[in-house]
Amino acid sequence: MRTRPLKVALLGCGVVGSEVARIMTTHADDLAARIGAPVELAGVAVRRPSKVREGIDPGLVTTDATALVKRGDIDVVVEVIGGIEPARTLITTAFEHGASVVSANKALLAQDGAALHAAAGEHGRDLYYEAAVAGAIPLIRPLRESLAGDKVNRVLGIVNGTTNFILDKMDSTGAGYQEALDEATALGYAEADPTADVEGFDAAAKAAILAGISFHTRVRLDDVYREGMTEVTAADFRSAKEMGCTIKLLAICERSADGTSVTARVHPAMIPLTHPLASVRGAYNAVFVESDAAGQLMFYGPGAGGSPTASAVLGDLVAVCRNRLNGTTGPGESAYADLTVSPMGQVVTRYHISLDVADKPGVLAQVATVFAEHGVSIDTVRQQGKDGEASLVVVTHRASDASLSGTVEALRKLDTVRGVASIMRVEGE
């Protein structure tokens, strides 16, 4: 074993960073044995140096992150500060000064992953980011390495624990959205400002990363269709149960049938109770992968939190340090396929549409005619009426998002349609 330690700079010492530092200290001997050399925490960049950080030598703490990554003797920079800047500049500076990088920064990777990979390649350094998607769940490495010889066709997953907790509570207790969100906040699953989670921004960043790796195509955050879950109601769950379904906020990445294009999207969807993702409860994450040779695979576990995310960071740290000792680098960006990223309008799926209509003869015929005129085939219809008003629930066969949008626009113009109560996609067939 080499006795000279590999030096690690830690950018950020919050929930995840402090746990990374703790594990590096308490598991130092095991890490050294697995890597083939000791690892040494050489510096910790923070915003508030006066804060007491248990187990961390105050002499290692600095507010000058730039100076830390420019030192020249740093082997690996671990970036867990999040956001776009200064993280982007610090990472590229680390490459320029000879360090490899381990990051958990999903937003930055989804927006500028190609540029970061290019910078890593230019300087012969590693960029690893297992912790950027689904916390402790090994997902990036299986897609990037274990399935490198296979053809991935679809990735369907729950990649945000906060939204899954909220939807699970709505499903299991009949609670409304706000009530479930309040409980998630009280338990620490939701931030004071939950927008990034409940509006799908967090999941969309992860979908961009997953799609890019799975399909060997550059997919940026702007390419991902995003729809939040704030409009999901208890009534939607009742309708889902009548269909033998539940509702999840899903990240879906798909290759087209002809193999020439891909799509990436995040939105609430009904999925059958028989699908493995339907049983994912609480704040857990799960990702379902479909490929030609391996078939159907499911990855499941805690998708967030200090310890789970730190576990993924440390796994990357071990891999990068091994590469460093061997004078090699791991896999970089694979975007050779360069497939077209299609817009949401071309996505084909089933739909569940709930309409408020007048309770009188001929309404169903009018509605059915509109669907037929727009080329959308109806699978089932359920109607309930009372005192001149009625609800009409239509479940379609597979149709494109564009054709469904045209159908709904035409439905709104019918005098007998009082309103469109909800529209939800049906996935996981």
Which of the residues are catalytic? 206
DSSP letter for each residue of 347-381: -EEEEEEEEEEE-STTHHHHHHHHHHHTT--EEEE
Secondary structure of residue 55 in the 3-state scheme: coil
Work out whether strand 348-358 and strand 399-400 pair parallel, antiparallel, or are unpaired.
antiparallel
Q: Apex CA 161: angle with CA 293 and CA 14, to 5°?
A: 115
Mapped to the 3 state alphabet, what secondary structure does 231-296 carry?
A: CCCHHHHHHHHHCCEEEEEEEEEEECCCCCEEEEEEEEEEEECCCHHHHCCCCEEEEEEEECCCEE
- Tokens representing 391 are 């609800």
Give Cα 389 to chain centroid, integer Å.
41
Q: For residue 155, which of 214, 76, 240 has the smallest C-alpha distance?
A: 214
C-alpha torsion angle, residues 412, 396, 265, 246 (rounded to 10): 110
* Separation of alpha carbons 236 and 392, rounded Å: 13
121, 226, 231, 377, 410 from 251: Cα distances, Å:
29, 9, 17, 26, 29
